[in-house]
Amino acid sequence: MYKNLFVFVLTFLFASLANAQSLRISMQERVPAEWDKNVYSLVNRIENWKPSETAIIICDMWDKHWCPIATKRFNELAAALNPVIETARNQGVLIVHSPSDCINYYKDFAQRKILSTCKDKNIAVLINNQKLPSESKIPFPIDMSDEGCECTPKSRSYKAWTKQTDLIPIKEQDLISESGEELGVYFKQHGIKNVILTGVATNMCVLHRPFGLRNMKRLGMNVVLMRDMTDSMYNPAKSPFVDHFSGTDLVVEYIETYVSPTIVSTDFTGQKQFRFLDDKRKRIAFLVAEGEYHANQRLPEFAHELTLRNFSCDFSLGVPRMDGEGRHNLENLHILENADLAIIFVRRRALEAEKMAKIKKYVASGRPLLVIRTSCVAFDTNKEKITGENNQILEQWKEFDRDILGGNYQNHHEHLKTGTDISIVPGMENHPILRGVKPFNSLNWLYKNRPLHSEKAQVLLLGSNPDKPIEPVLWTNGDNVIYTSLGHWDDWKIESFKNIMLNSVNFLIKEKNQKIIP
């Protein structure tokens, strides 16, 4: 008896503790840029959520889809999603199973019956299948007029589903609903403020169901999409004629811009984000933390171009400011684990030892690096010591420029209205990185890098200011490292610079089967 009581008290304590432990949610979103409201800046925002105020909705993870290719992918996703759901449930998050059209199957389930009184006309009136005002006049990024079926011959569309897949068991404390009204009322009654959408399909049901992203937003929820725990219905034979998974990425980009922020399952698992086995695209990890050159606008624009060329692009973001709180951090560095290329645009950040170790491990693996502008001092704060939130000393990597890039950065020349003239090193005109590149003028203030530290550095471009020594502005350091001190926001409008960036990705990834660039 005492033993049972002891176990009861212990269980209660653990449950309370789990609930007291807040969830650290790392959100990615695209917001109008501070420097130009007509362009978007990809930023990260960290919030701490109480599990008791948080729900995860599992959208349309059915037992079977009419498209066999979709069924196969959705089963793979379900197997990956369930452990995330279990972890979240154990942390005290409410789990909502929403297999649309199959609700009758669950009519006698307690997890349904509990919602029978959740009715409210004032809430029901908010639910509709319209786009959000933020999306009006915005073209959808993929053509789904064929319902996204990739089969040849096309599969016939019919109601193939009867219930939710058994790969995601429904537990006692969960809910089952396909109604925005029911959930709106229940959430209000139980203080649920944060809602995470998972499941399929991102371009259809996840967006527009009564419990989907748009309606949760209309209900005033703090809603996000878990972008690795979803999939689209998209056929690469339709516009924009890209890989299936690039199609999904374009929809996620659309959602981050016009609908809601996104997160990855890493927030719950601590592991790298999920990726489908059939996603064979080369992976590019962008590390971006900089507040001077609009890198949060320009690199996502570049990534968009690469997505259209069937590269998989993920971002590890820091705050886009020169200084201030939270600056010494990069989120989601797990993306380096499987990256085929890292593109770095970071300025003077110190990092927790564990995070710096991820970067050093990537570099030590010999995988390629494309390093831009201020990133020669990416991990050199110019200060002796930086302390983190818990008063621990953060790590710096002051030798990154010298040892990895082969550079020798010693400040820069003054800002000139006439900019810097960029010319090709004689004899290098046919180098693959310089395909489609002509001499040009850049608004960059010229970095001083002479003499380069590395003997194997091959300089490709030179920069000159009047009455100043000529400086190297683009070089390779071996086969796997490219550095350029170019990267001013206006450089990205110059055809030659854009070609340098695309050629560099091609040069470093060296994938014969990759779509030819540009």
In the bound complex, what is the minimum distance in angstroms from residue 478's beta carbon to Zn ion?
45
513: tokens are 């089967």
263: tokens are 């997160």
Of 11 and 157, which has the nearer Cβ to Zn ion? 157
Of 33 and 69, which has the nearer Cβ to Zn ion? 69
In the bound complex, what is the minimum distance in angstroms from residue 202's beta carbon to Zn ion?
17
Phi-psi region of 159 (alpha: psi -120 to 50; beta: other; left: phi over 0): beta
| Binding span for Zn ion by CB under 5 A among 64-72, 166-174, 190-198, 392-400 | 64-72
In the bound complex, what is the minimum distance in angstroms from residue 152's beta carbon to Zn ion?
9
Q: How far apart are CA 513 and CA 353, in angstroms?
A: 37
Rg (CA), the chain: 25
170: tokens are 């429904």
Neighbours of 378 (CB within 10 A): 27
- DSSP state, 273? P
| Binding span for Zn ion by CB under 5 A among 52-60, 141-149, 181-189, 504-512 | 141-149
Q: How far apart are CA 112 and CA 442, in angstroms?
A: 63
Among 31, 69, 124, 357, binds Zn ion (CB under 5 A): 69
How many helices and strands (H and E) does the chain possess? 12, 17
| Binding span for Zn ion by CB under 5 A among 62-70, 75-83, 238-246, 368-376 | 62-70
Bridge partners of 194, per DSSP, are: 54, 222
Burial class (CB in 10 A: 0-12, 13-18, 19+), 279: middle
Q: Per-residue DSSP letters for 368-386?
A: -EEEEGGGGGTT--SSS--
| Binding span for Zn ion by CB under 5 A among 3-11, 144-152, 368-376, 416-424 | 144-152
Q: How far apart are CA 255 and CA 241, in angstroms?
A: 20
In the bound complex, what is the minimum distance in angstroms from residue 75's beta carbon to Zn ion?
14
In the bound complex, what is the minimum distance in angstroms from residue 153's beta carbon to Zn ion?
9
Residue 31's SS3 state is strand
Q: How many residues bind Zn ion (CB under 5 A)?
A: 5
Among 42, 95, 149, 422, binds Zn ion (CB under 5 A): 149
**How far, CA to CA in Å, does 62 sit from each of 59, 177, 204, 265, 296?**
9, 14, 14, 20, 38
From the list 393, 388, 378, the residue with the least C-alpha distance to 348 is 378
Of 232 and 316, which has the nearer Cβ to Zn ion? 232
Max CA pair span of the chain: 90
In the bound complex, what is the minimum distance in angstroms from residue 297's beta carbon to Zn ion?
37
In the bound complex, what is the minimum distance in angstroms from residue 241's beta carbon to Zn ion?
17
Show contacts with Zn ion in window 9-38 (CB under 5 A): none
* Residue 151 touches Zn ion, criterion: CB under 5 A: yes
Residue 37's SS3 state is strand
Residues in the chain: 518
| Binding span for Zn ion by CB under 5 A among 66-74, 267-275, 317-325, 477-485 | 66-74
* Residue 233 touches Zn ion, criterion: CB under 5 A: no
Of 67 and 482, which has the nearer Cβ to Zn ion? 67
In the bound complex, what is the minimum distance in angstroms from residue 197's beta carbon to Zn ion?
24
Between vectors from CA 186 to CA 182 and to CA 187, what angle results, nearest 5°? 115
Bridge partners of 440, per DSSP, are: 422
Of 156 and 190, which has the nearer Cβ to Zn ion? 156
Of 38 and 152, which has the nearer Cβ to Zn ion? 152
Q: How far apart are CA 281 and CA 296, in angstroms?
A: 23
In the bound complex, what is the minimum distance in angstroms from residue 232's beta carbon to Zn ion?
13
Bridge partners of 283, per DSSP, are: 312
Of 69 and 425, which has the nearer Cβ to Zn ion? 69
Q: How far apart are CA 370 and CA 505, in angstroms?
A: 8
| Binding span for Zn ion by CB under 5 A among 68-76, 130-138, 217-225, 366-374 | 68-76
| Binding span for Zn ion by CB under 5 A among 63-71, 254-262, 287-295, 499-507 | 63-71
Of 44 and 155, which has the nearer Cβ to Zn ion? 155
In the bound complex, what is the minimum distance in angstroms from residue 148's beta carbon to Zn ion?
8
Of 155 and 374, which has the nearer Cβ to Zn ion? 155
In the bound complex, what is the minimum distance in angstroms from residue 485's beta carbon to Zn ion?
49
| Binding span for Zn ion by CB under 5 A among 15-23, 67-75, 256-264, 456-464 | 67-75
Of 151 and 393, which has the nearer Cβ to Zn ion? 151
Q: How far apart are CA 336 and CA 333, in angstroms?
A: 6
| Binding span for Zn ion by CB under 5 A among 59-67, 71-79, 80-88, 314-322 | 59-67
Of 78 and 306, which has the nearer Cβ to Zn ion? 78
In the bound complex, what is the minimum distance in angstroms from residue 155's beta carbon to Zn ion?
4
23: tokens are 């969830």
> What are the backbone angles phi and psi of residue 83, rounded to the nearest 5°?
-60, -30
Burial class (CB in 10 A: 0-12, 13-18, 19+), 189: exposed
In the bound complex, what is the minimum distance in angstroms from residue 150's beta carbon to Zn ion?
5
Among 54, 111, 155, 202, binds Zn ion (CB under 5 A): 155
* Residue 67 touches Zn ion, criterion: CB under 5 A: yes
Binding site for Zn ion (CB under 5 A): 67, 69, 149, 151, 155
